[in-house]
Amino acid sequence: MSNAIVCQNIRVSGVVQGVGFRPFVWRLARELGLAGWVRNDSRGVEIEVRGAAAKVRSLTERLEQEAPPLARINSVVSRETAPAYPGDDFVIIDSRSGRAATMIGHDTAVCRDCLTEMFDPGNRRWRYAFTNCTNCGPRYTISRGLPYDRVRTSLKPFALCPKCQCEYRRPADRRFHAEANCCPKCGPQLFLLDAEGHRLADDPIAGALALLQQGKIVAIKGLGGFHLACDARNAVAVAVLRERKQRDEKPFVVMLANAPSAARLVQMGIGEPGLMTLPTRPAILLRKRGSCDEALPGVAPGLAWLGVMLPYTPLQFLLFHEAAKRPAGLGWLERSQDLALVMTSANPGGEPLVIGNSEALLRLYGIADAFLMHDRDIVTRCDDSVARITTGGLQFIRRARGYTPRAIKMPVSGPSVLAVGAWFKNTICVTRGDEAFVSQHVGDLDNASVCNFLEECVEQLVKFLGVEPAIVAHDLHPDFHSTRFAADFAQQRRLPLLGVQHHHAHAAAVLAEHGIEGSTLALSLDGVGLGTDGAAWGGELLRVDGAAFERLGHLVPLALPGGDRAANEPWRMAAAALHRLGRTQEITERFSGQQAAPAVAQMLIGNIHCPPTTSMGRMFDAAAGLLGVKAVMAYEGQAAMLMEGLAQSYGDILPLDQGWRIEDGRLDLLPLFAVLADERSAERGAALFHATLAAALVDWLRVVAPGERAVTGSGGCFLNEVLVRALRSRLGAQGIQLIEARQVPPNDGGLAVGQAWVALQHLVGRQGSAGECA
């Protein structure tokens, strides 16, 4: 009967700690007149509730339907139980530790309610840089462990003052059990230091802004690390930052106050301002207006897109508030503001982000002129996320702050897997049941500090998740630090080790996030990955089925004159294309500005130190070299990005008739290169390359795998919006669905998820072996 008194124990799992879930349960139970208690523990949230059966059932249903905005519920499981605590009230009781089966929430942007307090001169949190509540603020980057309680965060040293304590204890308050709650009286404090560590200015915000407006570089402590900031409108300041950070041409991200400010610099379509204001606040690539480069000289040279990020911490908002002359209220945030700040990660020399105050003064000495700091520790390094807007929403270029450690649901559950990624854009992945947890961006494993950071990430994720991996998955390349680490980790724990081919892992990452099982066609296009034959792959058409894959076809190889050096010098790839065209004699004259041109011509003639590659990334480089777009790259992928921008500027063009050949499953782009070699317009050539490549890839699928209705697209080339837009259109016209990466990047930043998926399939005994298992 609905009026019968029952007692239920309810277990809620998912992201339910640090998101206001216990206060939500308390208010719901009080509204329904139920007795009992709620608490955090290492498995999530546990509830005991007593009352009329109908009202208990209503509470259980509403837990999912009305959950707080930052919560992500995986399951709600209830069972009958005998009351553990007497009483007619409903209370929040102390947390209980144990084996973890939940996860800490991600960091989110400061909410509108908190901003309202910060910009109210009569509020006690007026201009306070650490204002937060249950619905916003730091979580992952301040947490030391589970359950999520203040004593396990970097707020532990800051005892709550009576007013904050009252908010924390008052059920009706939005700071009820907000573990990071604080105010100017009891919480962390800002201070501004010069390069020698001496205090500057009584008002750190005003002082920092004044320095930025004078053209100085200021290191600003954020949620997951320091940023290096300068005035984006000051060409000299931008140039100095480039010189000091040794970042000659790579684009910078710009922070602007709001969408109206951005609209003056970039083009925005319907819905795009809303994506910019997501609580997760990724930096988003948006198409530049014609006036953008003049307004922001040197920020993103030669590219068609600008990375734009809106403020997400109170401190960042306060800098824009100060520039707006400290207006009261939120009205100023609806209007365009002039201040534009370069906000680039403070990681000198490609090392991990700087997070500590003393560390910042040491590692950023000679780069930053001043330091805007505070005394709340950053526990976990976490870079900004970067995304672009595509059909279907955001696509990640880098998945980190705001999204880590969100779980990705997989269609198969099994023992825990540790996957350690590859070399570039490294992330690691740990699975628990049917959930894959991807780390924040680790970086390229080309220095000891980043390698150590990878190991820290493994230790942290395994600890937070409370799992013991049953298998370790890695890339096939034996010289990667990730591969060596995997071998050591597995040996120490006597675990099996699984090598997963690079492009198989790329495809598997897309299959995992979309929950696709069974035989699937996959296009995997990127810069490089070691093939099962020991060669450099990168333009692959695969058939993927669980833990197994078949290579159906690949691009006709081009030589890599000089080996790995050719991956950074597009002119060498252009020389390789000329050699295949029988035009070797042109190399020396055409690339007369390159001292090594005669030697490269001889290397190609004698096939000396010219390993073959099927890499699509190198095909882009060859095209860029032939068109004179870029001879030597300043950063990875630069030539392809410049080509994409030129194609975007040129606009639509018909593909080259008979611009490719297909034979024995191999796609040959040599006819296209023959035309590009004589093309005088770089813009037209770039557009022709993209249009012809899209047409060629669709024809390749038709010839090699006729009748297919879907294909997954993965690898770094699937971040090229011009190419993917054309591919989508052409595939759609033939009734073929393109399945793309959404929850993780298609580049190597998502590789660990694919490795984990293959290993999980291997463990549960599906479809044989993936590569090497020891």
Q: What is the pLDDT of residue 765?
A: 74
Residue type, 582: G
d(CA 376, CA 318) in angstroms, rounded, equals: 17
Q: What is the pLDDT of residue 770?
A: 43
User: 480, 386, 354: which is closest to 428 by C-alpha?
Assistant: 480
Average pLDDT over residues 154-158: 97
Average pLDDT over residues 133-137: 93
3-state secondary structure of 325: coil
- Flag the least confident range among 86-100, 301-315, 331-345, 562-576: 86-100
Q: What is the pLDDT of residue 197?
A: 96
Residue type, 217: I
What digits encode the pLDDT tens for the residues 6-45? 999 999 988 887 787 888 898 899 999 999 999 888 778 9
Give, in order, the Cα–Cα distances in Å from 181 to each of 184, 236, 296, 391: 11, 40, 38, 39
What digits encode the pLDDT tens for the residues 695-740? 999 999 999 999 999 999 999 999 999 999 999 999 999 999 999 9
pLDDT at 98 over 70: no
Percent of the chain scoring above 70 in pLDDT: 97
Cβ neighbours for 773, distance < 8 A, ≥ 6 positions apart: 496, 497, 498, 499, 762
pLDDT at 767 over 70: no
What is the 3-state secondary structure of 19-75?
A: CCHHHHHHHHHHHHCCEEEEEEECCEEEEEEEEEHHHHHHHHHHHHHCCCCCCEEEE
Q: What is the pLDDT of residue 102?
A: 63
Q: What is the pLDDT of residue 11?
A: 93
Confidence grade of residue 97 (pLDDT, cut at 50, 70, 90): low
d(CA 48, CA 9) in angstroms, rounded, equals: 5
Angle, helices 570-580 vs 597-606, to 10°: value is: 40
Do the beta carbons of residue 264 and residue 278 sit within 8 Å? no
What digits encode the pLDDT tens for the residues 287-324? 999 999 999 999 999 899 999 999 999 999 999 999 99
Q: What is the pLDDT of residue 91?
A: 87
- Residue where the block lists tokens 């604080």: 182
Q: What is the pLDDT of residue 95?
A: 74
Give, in order, the Cα–Cα distances in Å from 413 to each of 224, 417, 433, 630: 31, 11, 5, 47
Radius of gyration for the alpha carbons in the chain, expressed in angstroms and rounded: 27
DSSP state of 678: T
User: How far is residue 139 CA from its own chain's centroid?
Assistant: 17
Confidence grade of residue 573 (pLDDT, cut at 50, 70, 90): very high
Residue type, 10: I
Average pLDDT over residues 388-402: 92
In the chain, what is the straight-line distance between the N-terminal and C-terminal CA atoms, in Å? 59
- Flag the least confident range among 100-114, 347-361, 748-762: 100-114
Q: What is the pLDDT of residue 74?
A: 84
d(CA 771, CA 774) in angstroms, rounded, equals: 10
Q: What is the pLDDT of residue 772?
A: 42
Q: Which two tokens stand for residue 467?
A: 């799992």
pLDDT at 75 over 90: no
d(CA 719, CA 695) in angstroms, rounded, equals: 18
Helix (H) or strand (E) holding 731: helix 721-733
Q: Which two tokens stand for residue 104?
A: 């800490």
Q: What is the mean pLDDT of the chain?
A: 94
Q: Could you count the other beta carbons within 10 Å of the beta carbon of residue 220?
A: 25
CA atoms within 13 A on the CB side of 387: 25
What digits encode the pLDDT tens for the residues 171-220? 789 998 899 999 999 999 999 999 999 999 899 999 999 999 999 999 99
Phi and psi at residue 340, to the nearest 5°: -135, 125
Beta-bridge partners for 524 = 540, 714
Do the beta carbons of residue 297 and residue 340 sit within 8 Å? no
pLDDT at 2 over 70: no
Q: What is the pLDDT of residue 1?
A: 47
pLDDT at 405 over 50: yes
